[in-house]
């Protein structure tokens, strides 16, 4: 069954995309091309913010996907306030729309504690992912935010050496057991000293199996 939170798939296409496309795969490919093109602008914008706040996460999503979705930069409380995100039969892994901002703010608070972020970047990513602010584009948006948090903490994650399926499996375990080190254990071999923001973000395009993903 097609994901149709707005109830207007037939008239406006998948997730009201700007091209009016109904093929979800085509929309995701469109979104991924747009993401790659706008990634440098999103990274530069975040680098100029003194202390990251929830609004900066929304702005990052808008920069990355504003050409694809008219609702880019709006969270689930604005776009689908009554829809809980499920993974299988689990609806507790991701925040309910009314708690999205609280979840992201908590992740940002931990992520901007440089000592904590340097020691537990996987845990911070897990809390960001729990927030799941958007109907699409969460993974890429939150990775860009995470790159900025990591840079400020003096570390980097070599995302180009990770593998999509293995990462998502570790992330699922982290969401199921937050704070127990599941994602930190997976990321440990890929964590090193800080590199230029541009170098760290460019590695996103090299993730094995990345392609379009939420």
Assign 48 a pLDDT band (cuts: 50, 70, 90).
Answer: very high
Each residue of 5-47: pLDDT tens digit?
999 999 999 999 999 999 999 999 999 999 999 999 999 999 9
**Per-residue b/e over 156-177, b at no fewer than 16 CB within 10 Å?**
bbbbbebeeeebeebbbbbbee
Please report the pLDDT score of residue 110 as a whole number.
Answer: 98
Distance CA 202, CA 179 (A): 28
Please report the pLDDT score of residue 130 as a whole number.
Answer: 97
Each residue of 54-92: pLDDT tens digit?
999 999 999 999 999 999 999 999 999 999 988 888 888
Output the DSSP codes for the chain: ----TTS-HHHH-GGG-TT----HHHHHHHHHHHHHHHHHHHHHHHHT-SS--HHHHHHHHHHHHTTT-TTTT--HHHH-TT----BTTB-SSS--GGGHHHHHHHHHHHHTSHHHHHH-HHHHHHHHHHH--SSS-HHHHHHHHHHHHHHHTTEEE-GGGSBHHHHHHHHHHHHHSTTSSHHHHHHGGGEEE---HHHHHHGGGGSBT-SS--
CATH of 9-206, one of 1.10.3290.10, 2.40.50.140, 1.20.950.20, 1.10.3860.10: 1.10.3290.10
**In the chain, % of residues over pLDDT 70:** 97
Please report the pLDDT score of residue 44 as a whole number.
Answer: 97
Assign 106 a pLDDT band (cuts: 50, 70, 90).
Answer: very high
- Length of the chain equals 214
Each residue of 164-207: pLDDT tens digit?
899 999 999 999 999 999 999 999 999 999 999 999 998 887 77
**Position 211 pLDDT exceeds 90:** no
Distance CA 80, CA 5 (A): 6
- Per-residue pLDDT, averaged over 90-108, amounts to 96
Pairing of the two strands 155-157 and 191-193:
antiparallel
Domain boundaries, the chain: 9-206
Please report the pLDDT score of residue 213 as a whole number.
Answer: 40
Higher pLDDT: 138 or 213? It is 138
Please report the pLDDT score of residue 208 as a whole number.
Answer: 59
Mean pLDDT, the chain, rounded, equals 94
Query: What's CA 82's distance to the chain center, in Å?
Result: 21
């Amino acid at each position: 069954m097609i994901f149709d939170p707005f109830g207007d798939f037939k008239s406006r296409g998948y997730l009201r995309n700007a091209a009016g496309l109904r093929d979800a795969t085509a929309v995701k490919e469109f979104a991924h091309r747009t993401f790659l093109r706008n990634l440098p602008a999103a990274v530069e914008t975040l680098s100029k913010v003194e202390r990251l706040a929830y609004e900066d996460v929304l702005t990052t999503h808008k920069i990355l996907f504003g050409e694809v979705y008219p609702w880019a930069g709006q969270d689930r409380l604005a776009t689908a306030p009554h829809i809980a995100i499920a993974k299988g039969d689990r609806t507790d892994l991701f925040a309910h729309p009314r708690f999205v901002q609280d979840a992201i703010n908590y992740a940002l608070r931990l992520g901007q504690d440089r000592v904590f972020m340097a020691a537990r970047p996987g845990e911070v990513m897990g809390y960001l992912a729990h927030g799941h602010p958007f109907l699409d584009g969460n993974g890429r948006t939150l990775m860009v935010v995470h790159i900025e948090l990591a840079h400020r903490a003096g570390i980097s994650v070599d995302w180009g050496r990770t593998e999509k399926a293995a990462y998502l499996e570790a992330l699922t375990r982290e969401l199921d057991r937050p704070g127990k080190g599941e994602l930190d254990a997976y990321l440990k071999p890929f964590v090193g000293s800080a590199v230029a923001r541009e170098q760290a973000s460019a590695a996103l395009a090299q993730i094995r199996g990345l392609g379009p993903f939420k």
